[in-house]
Amino acid sequence: MSKQIKAVALISGGLDSMLAAKTIQAQNIHVEGLNFFTGFCVEGHTQALRKTSNNKIKRNNALWVAQTLGIKLHIIDIIEEYKDTVLNPKHGYGKHLNPCLDCKIFMIKKAKQWLDESGFDFIITGEVIGQRPKSQRKNTMPVIANESGAFDRLLRPLCAKNLPETLPEKMGWVMRDKLYDFSGRSRQGQMALAKQLGITDYAQPAGGCCFLTDKHYSTKLKDLWQSRQCRDYTLDDILLLKVGRHIRPNERFKLIIGREEGENIYLMGYRHQFTHLKPSSHTGPLVLIDGEPTADDIQLAARVTARYCSQQQEDVVIEVTEPRGISRPLTVKPLPAEQVAKEWFV
């Protein structure tokens, strides 16, 4: 009886990795999926906290893809290990704080480690030459394979015909003529293949799967580093950058203002870590204060909070609660719109 050949697929939750896995499954290869959680993933349900997202199904798309393909998915927490990739990318950043090439190398390296430990034979990804300006170019494909240590055990089924033969092809585990030669940013070929394979429902993430490719998010992360004079972060730091409106009136403190009920509930979870403000006389947001505010700063923070209350013409009572639970009321006038400086918005 011949040995069952096994491949591990990097599953992001998007169409390309789904097609890559399905293509290899079709060649009688046992496939299991890996999904890495960096903390910067768009894929989480951070956005689902907002009511405006209520019409969308709240699901992890990587899990959904695995379920649709009938494969196991292993979700790996790489938050701590991944920090060095974000903070010191050897190949530099993309347009914002996205270290895409280093990120891909790191993930393939982790997949290779998993492959060795689990007795699998090769790695597959949904990469397509020319699809991403930083990491998915013809000249970066060998860099990823070599620097990750995967070498010819890394197969990209969607563009394999544009690349040198890999070990699974040389060994006859997979047939090269049943792989593809997609290239470029157009998704037409992949969409046609999806249709051919009967895949009609798939996630279409706009702007990739990582918050580090987002201009506004990157600005907030830079602001965090600058305010702390230290290029480092915790998971809570990077999760909080995804939630609420961020306003920094001065270098001493920043306000994180819930925009909706879902965000207010989420921010409440941090009430033992931050001083927080909550209107008691009116309906309004929950606000966290990040930093070392003075008494005047707290007064200003309360007035900004009042500005986001239901009634902005009257005095508003704001409960100011310290992390240890001691609370006091502050009655303030909402800060007029013209006094909220544009540059305060991070």
Partner 1 sequence: MTTHIKVDATRLLCPLPVIELQNTIQPLMPGDTIELIATDPGVQYDIPAWCQIHGHIVTQQCKQEGTFTFVIERGDLKANMAKSSS
Residue ranges in contact with partner 1 by CB under 8 A: 35, 37, 41, 43-46, 48-49, 57-60, 62-64, 66-67, 70-77, 239, 265-266, 269
Smallest gap from residue 322 Cβ to partner 1 (A):
20
Considering the complex, state which of residue 44 and residue 130 has its C-beta at the smaller distance from partner 1: 44
Smallest gap from residue 275 Cβ to partner 1 (A):
18
Write out the E strands in the chain.
Answer: 6-10, 30-37, 73-77, 122-124, 154-155, 245-250, 253-257, 275-279, 287-291, 316-321, 327-332
Considering the complex, state which of residue 143 and residue 239 has its C-beta at the smaller distance from partner 1: 239
Closest to 136 in 3D by CA, of 92, 84, 204, 183: 183
- Say if residues 303 and 257 touch (Cβ distance below 8 Å): no
Beta bridge mates, 9: 33, 124
Considering the complex, state which of residue 129 and residue 240 has its C-beta at the smaller distance from partner 1: 240
Closest to 282 in 3D by CA, of 318, 336, 258, 320: 318
Considering the complex, state which of residue 78 and residue 340 has its C-beta at the smaller distance from partner 1: 78
Smallest gap from residue 297 Cβ to partner 1 (A):
27
Smallest gap from residue 201 Cβ to partner 1 (A):
14
Considering the complex, state which of residue 66 and residue 320 has its C-beta at the smaller distance from partner 1: 66
SS3 state at 303: helix
Smallest gap from residue 6 Cβ to partner 1 (A):
13
Considering the complex, state which of residue 57 and residue 295 has its C-beta at the smaller distance from partner 1: 57
Read off the amino acid at residue 341.
A
Smallest gap from residue 333 Cβ to partner 1 (A):
33
Q: How far is CA 53 from CA 56, 92, 118, 263, in A?
A: 6, 34, 38, 12
